[in-house]
């Protein structure tokens, strides 16, 4: 009995790592891109919620969940561009502006999303990788959403793009040393605005995953701080897109501990187990950060380091 | 010839210019937003004012909300003096409220005053320790305080929910899990029957004034200005940077914890999840709107309290969703920060005004020369 319990628990953990980790993956890739350009966007949390609402609403109105995902990305792009443009003004603190964007994004989503709490929108499809098994639990655990594979591919594309393309090099130059980029004739502000915008797009897609796949509904308690944890996750991943993938899976697994324990009948401390991702994030930051030196791999212009 | 006193008035008013412009653009954008939504935008503006300051009842409602905002804003503004952006006030508030709620359960029966003081101390200790931990992590471990304090806030909320719905739950609270209700002797009343606002308002104002005296006139406050200005200078001067940063965090956290104590003993009567109502988050906005000036916080907290108080009226009269005030806050915050870009210009304009307007060229030739140079 105990052995089956353990295997069910591990299976739920694995499934959760992918299921809960996918939005982490998208948001952290977006944040990674933004931070490579030398800015921090805490507002991804607000973008995530706006994206979730937009994706759900468009999917419901148009009948196509993929159109919803795209619209969610566009809403994220718009908010990301706002962040990028306003933070390019002198004396505007990007961290403080991110907090403002959280307020605005959630307010916007709650305001416009009131009418979409009740109706049910068409969901994103998933690929049944567990077709070989007779066990329904294995089958449901191995139902993996298409967006996860897109996210994995994206991590590798970004990894290559940041190293091997002109665009990637310019972005990293702007993020590492603004003056040299300027000396070469690149305008730092423009590059950063673009990076923040694209980062916002990815966070919007992550939000659409929340409302259109897992948990798979739109309500006001949908996000639990994934957008903010992504900032810590990127630090953990040392600003490497492929590391973001592993980190997102780890955080997904941490977030799945609570539900996985419930699956085997342990209801005690539900809230405490749900806080594991936060504790993990904090622990990771305590272990990796040092007060006397900046982290290896950190973009030089990042306000975290100053 | 323009009068010098006019110039002096302009110099004094200039720092407020970005804030005024931000409020103006906020109003315009908010009305535009409602018009796009085909909502009755022209009625909303006056209603916000009516719901916030239109009657005695509105004022009481506003001030009741402003009281915790003043205290949670201090939780942002004091660390900001040392250059930290702390956003975890919500966690300090709920832990402070919880500490206040359980103090009478764990102490022997005491008269009202000693017990209230014990509750206040417990709340301030809980909040101060929690935010102090963020500051300690930053100074000793290099953990970014913004993210650290927010994560700690999430953890605090989880601990709070776990304790209130589990070990500390009053078995008689069926629908709304709560700690056992406070003895009526330990509940804090209103200031007077004709002014129906609890004493937390007085505590908030006093705390802000004390904070102002502290940062403006004390030696520690002066050292803080050096610490917040530049990371290297204070070390060269041999200032105890770590201790100063920790002090602001602990004091700020204590203020937020005290807000939780008043919410428990003057509003809720016990610790329950109604404590998690966003006062910590709104306090961030108040502190930034006041540019971390403790006296400015009093004004901004009243304005924002009014904004939140008017939400109910917007809901009842116009049928607008309760998220309307959240949007309004978001637009306001965005504009306040964006117009901050102007503040360097206003500094230049101030200098120009000083040189050309106040100091007449004939009598103060020397100073005009300097300001030209």
Residue A260 has pLDDT above 90, yes or no: no
Phi/psi of residue A175, each to 5°?
A: -75, -30
Residue B363 lies in a domain: no
Residue B369 has pLDDT above 50, yes or no: no
Residue B361 has pLDDT above 70, yes or no: no
B283 in A contact zone (CB under 8 Å):
no
Q: Which of A270, A240, A273 is nearest to A255 (CA)?
A: A273
Give me the residue from B144, B159, B337 closest to A96, CB to CB.
B337
Do residues A91 and B344 touch, judged by C-beta distance below 8 A?
yes
Q: Average pLDDT in the A158-187 region?
A: 92
Residue A297 lies in a domain: no
Residue B6 has pLDDT above 80, yes or no: no
Interchain CB distance below 8 Å, A269 and B323? no
Q: How far apart are CA A195 and CA A191, in angstroms?
A: 6
Residue B58 has pLDDT above 90, yes or no: yes
How high is the pLDDT of residue A172?
Answer: 93
Distances (CA, A) of A250 to A157, A276, B248: 21, 11, 35
- Judging by beta carbons within 10 Å of its beta carbon (0-12, 13-18, 19+), is residue A56 exposed, middle or buried? buried
Do residues B326 and B69 touch, judged by C-beta distance below 8 A?
no
Residue A296 lies in a domain: no
Residue B286 has pLDDT above 70, yes or no: yes
A2 in B contact zone (CB under 8 Å):
no
Q: How far apart are CA A254 and CA A101, in angstroms?
A: 27
- Tell me the pLDDT band of A305, cut-offs 50, 70 and 90: low
Domain span holding position B73? 68-296
Q: Which range is least confidently modeled, A151-160, A243-252, B346-355?
A: B346-355
Residue A128 has pLDDT above 60, yes or no: yes
B105 in A contact zone (CB under 8 Å):
no
| Angle, CA B94 vertex, CA B162 and CA B194 arms, to 5° | 135
Distances (CA, A) of A125 to A65, A75, B44, B69, B136: 9, 22, 43, 45, 47
Q: Which range is least confidently modeled, A88-92, A116-120, B339-343?
A: B339-343
How high is the pLDDT of residue A164?
Answer: 92
How high is the pLDDT of residue B302?
Answer: 96
Question: Distance (Å) from the C-alpha of residue B190 to the closest C-alpha of chain A?
Answer: 32
User: Which tens digit of pLDDT belongs to each residue from B136-174?
Assistant: 999 999 888 988 998 999 999 999 999 999 889 998 888
Query: How many domains does one find in chain A?
Result: 1
- Tell me the pLDDT band of A263, cut-offs 50, 70 and 90: confident
Residues 6 or more apart whose Cβ sits within 8 Å of residue A91 = B340, B341, B343, B344
User: Which tens digit of pLDDT belongs to each residue from B254-269?
Assistant: 999 999 999 999 999 9
CB burial of B99-132 (b: ≥16 within 10 Å; e: otherwise) equals bbbbbbeeeeeeeeeebbebbbbbbbbbbbbbbb
Phi/psi of residue B190, each to 5°?
A: -95, 165
Interchain CB distance below 8 Å, A289 and B321? no
- Helical H runs in chain A? 2-36, 44-62, 65-87, 94-113, 136-141, 146-164, 166-176, 178-183, 188-212, 226-236, 241-263, 270-274, 276-288
For chain B, the average pLDDT equals 88
Q: Average pLDDT in the B65-92 region?
A: 95
Residue A136 lies in a domain: no
Distances (CA, A) of B300 to A156, B9, B270: 48, 22, 28
Residues 6 or more apart whose Cβ sits within 8 Å of residue A34 = A40, A41, A44, A80, A195, A196, A199
Phi/psi of residue A10, each to 5°?
A: -65, -40
Give me the residue from A100, A285, A304 closest to B333, CB to CB.
A100
Question: How many other β-carbons are positioned within 10 Å of the β-carbon of residue B370?
Answer: 10
- Tell me the pLDDT band of B284, cut-offs 50, 70 and 90: very high
Q: How far apart are CA B306 and CA B47, in angstroms?
A: 11
How high is the pLDDT of residue B371?
Answer: 39
A49 in B contact zone (CB under 8 Å):
no
User: Which tens digit of pLDDT belongs to each residue from A42-66?
Assistant: 999 999 999 999 999 999 999 999 9
Phi/psi of residue A247, each to 5°?
A: -65, -40
Tally of residues, chain B: 373
Among chain A residues, CA nearest to B158: A271
Q: Output B71 or B192, whichever has higher pLDDT.
A: B71
A281 in B contact zone (CB under 8 Å):
yes
How high is the pLDDT of residue A143?
Answer: 85
Residue A138 lies in a domain: no
How high is the pLDDT of residue B322?
Answer: 84
Rg, chain A, Cα only: 19
For residue A252, the number of C-alpha atoms closer than 13 Å in the C-beta half-sphere is 26
Q: Output A187 or A232, whichever has higher pLDDT.
A: A187
Retrieve residue B80's tokens: 């900001």
Residue B67 has pLDDT above 90, yes or no: yes
How high is the pLDDT of residue A304?
Answer: 65
Residues 6 or more apart whose Cβ sits within 8 Å of residue B295 = B208, B209, B212
Residue A242 lies in a domain: yes
* CATH code where residue A162 lies: 1.10.3470
Residue B370 has pLDDT above 50, yes or no: no
Q: How far apart are CA B330 and CA B337, in angstroms?
A: 11
Q: How far apart are CA B128 and CA A167, in angstroms?
A: 47
Q: How far apart are CA B184 and CA B217, in angstroms?
A: 40
What's the per-residue H, E or C state across B97-151? Answer: HHHHHHHHHHCCCCCHHHHHHHHHHHHHHHHHHHHHHHHHHHHHHCCCHHHHHHH
Among chain B residues, CA nearest to A111: B323
Residue B368 has pLDDT above 90, yes or no: no
Query: How many domains does one find in chain B?
Result: 1
Do residues B164 and B98 touch, judged by C-beta distance below 8 A?
yes
Q: If you ran DSSP here, which 8-state letter would residue B232 be given? A: S
- Tell me the pLDDT band of A277, cut-offs 50, 70 and 90: confident
Q: How far apart are CA A48 and CA B146, in angstroms?
A: 19
Residue A131 lies in a domain: no
Residue B237 lies in a domain: yes
How high is the pLDDT of residue A293?
Answer: 67
Give me the residue from A269, A278, A286 closest to B137, CB to CB.
A286
Domain span holding position A179? 2-122+146-288
Do residues A33 and A198 touch, judged by C-beta distance below 8 A?
yes
Residues of A numbered 180-239 whose beta carbons fall under 8 angstroms of chain B's beta carbons: which are they?
225, 228-229, 231-232, 235
Dihedral angle, C-alpha B90, B91, B93, B94, nearest 10 °: 120
User: Which tens digit of pLDDT belongs to each residue from B29-51?
Assistant: 999 999 998 888 888 888 889 99
Q: How far apart are CA A40 and CA A200, in angstroms?
A: 12
Q: Output B318 or A48, whichever has higher pLDDT.
A: A48
Q: How far apart are CA B250 and CA B255, in angstroms?
A: 9
How high is the pLDDT of residue B291?
Answer: 87
Residue A290 has pLDDT above 70, yes or no: yes
Question: pTM score, two decimals?
Answer: 0.89
Residue A258 lies in a domain: yes
How high is the pLDDT of residue A238?
Answer: 87
Q: How far apart are CA A259 and CA A13, in angstroms?
A: 9
Residue B366 has pLDDT above 50, yes or no: no
For chain A, the average pLDDT equals 90
Q: How far apart are CA B80 and CA B215, in angstroms?
A: 11
Phi/psi of residue B322, each to 5°?
A: -70, -15
How high is the pLDDT of residue B37?
Answer: 86
């Amino acid at each position: 009995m105990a052995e089956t319990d353990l295997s069910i628990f591990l299976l739920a953990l694995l499934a959760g790592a992918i299921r809960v980790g996918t939005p982490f993956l998208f948001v952290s890739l977006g944040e990674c891109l933004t931070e490579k350009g030398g800015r921090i966007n805490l507002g991804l949390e607000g973008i995530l919620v706006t994206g979730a609402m937009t994706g759900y609403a468009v999917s419901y109105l148009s009948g196509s969940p993929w159109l919803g995902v795209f619209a969610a990305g566009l809403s994220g792009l718009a908010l990301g561009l706002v962040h990028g443009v306003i933070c390019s003004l002198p004396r505007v603190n990007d961290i403080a502006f991110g907090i403002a964007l959280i307020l605005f994004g959630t307010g916007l989503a709650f305001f416009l999303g009131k009418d979409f709490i009740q109706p049910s929108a068409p969901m994103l499809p998933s690929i049944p990788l567990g077709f070989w098994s007779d066990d329904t639990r294995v089958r449901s655990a191995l139902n993996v959403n298409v967006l996860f594979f897109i996210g994995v591919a994206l991590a590798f594309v970004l990894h290559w793009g940041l190293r091997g393309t002109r665009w990637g090099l310019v972005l990293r130059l702007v993020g590492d040393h603004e003056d040299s980029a300027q000396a070469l004739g690149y305008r730092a502000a423009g590059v950063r605005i673009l990076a923040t915008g694209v980062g916002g797009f990815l966070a919007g897609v992550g939000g659409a995953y929340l409302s259109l796949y897992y948990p798979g509904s739109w309500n006001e308690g949908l996000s639990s701080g994934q957008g903010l944890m992504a900032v810590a996750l990127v630090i953990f991943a040392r600003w490497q897109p492929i590391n973001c993938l592993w980190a997102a899976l780890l955080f997904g697994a941490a977030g799945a501990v609570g539900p996985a324990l419930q699956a085997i009948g342990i209801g005690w401390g539900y809230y405490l187990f749900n806080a594991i991702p936060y504790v993990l994030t904090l622990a990771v930051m305590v272990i990796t950060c040092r007060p006397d030196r900046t982290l290896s791999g950190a973009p030089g212009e990042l306000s975290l380091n100053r | 010839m323009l009068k010098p006193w006019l110039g002096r008035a302009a110099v004094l008013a200039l720092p407020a210019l970005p804030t005024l412009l931000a409020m103006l653009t906020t109003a315009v954008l908010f009305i535009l937003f409602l018009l796009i939504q085909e909502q009755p935008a022209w009625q909303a503006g006056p209603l916000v004012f009516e719901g916030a300051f239109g009657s005695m009842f509105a004022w009481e409602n506003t001030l009741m909300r402003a009281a915790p905002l003043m205290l949670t804003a201090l939780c942002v503004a004091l660390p900001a003096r040392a250059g930290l952006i702390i956003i975890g006030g919500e966690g300090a508030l709920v832990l402070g409220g919880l500490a206040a709620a359980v103090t009478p359960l764990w102490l022997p029966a005491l008269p009202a005053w000693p017990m209230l003081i014990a509750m206040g101390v417990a709340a301030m200790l809980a909040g101060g320790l929690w935010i102090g931990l963020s500051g300690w992590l930053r100074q000793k471990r290099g953990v970014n305080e913004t993210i650290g304090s927010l994560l700690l806030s999430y953890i605090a909320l989880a601990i709070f929910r776990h304790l209130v719905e589990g070990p500390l739950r009053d078995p008689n609270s069926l629908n709304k899990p709560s700690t056992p209700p406070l003895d009526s002797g330990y509940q804090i009343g209103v200031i007077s029957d004709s002014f129906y606002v609890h004493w937390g308002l007085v505590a908030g104002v006093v705390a802000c004034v004390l904070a102002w005296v502290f940062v403006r006139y004390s030696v520690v406050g002066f050292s803080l200005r050096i610490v917040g200005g530049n990371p290297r200078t204070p070390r060269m001067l041999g200032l105890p940077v770590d201790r100063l940063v920790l002090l602001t965090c602990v004091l700020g956290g204590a203020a937020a914890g005290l807000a939780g104590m008043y919410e428990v003993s003057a509003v809720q009567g016990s610790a329950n999840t109604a404590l998690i109502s966003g006062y910590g988050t709104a306090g961030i906005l108040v502190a930034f709107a006041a540019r971390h000036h403790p006296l400015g916080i009093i004004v901004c907290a009243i304005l924002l309290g009014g904004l939140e108080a008017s939400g109910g009226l917007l809901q009842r009269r116009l049928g607008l969703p309760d998220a309307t005030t959240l949007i309004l806050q978001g637009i306001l915050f965005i504009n306040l920060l964006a117009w901050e870009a102007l503040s360097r210009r206003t500094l230049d304009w101030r200098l120009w005004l000083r040189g050309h307007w106040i100091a007449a060229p004939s009598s103060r030739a020397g100073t005009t020369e300097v300001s030209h140079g």
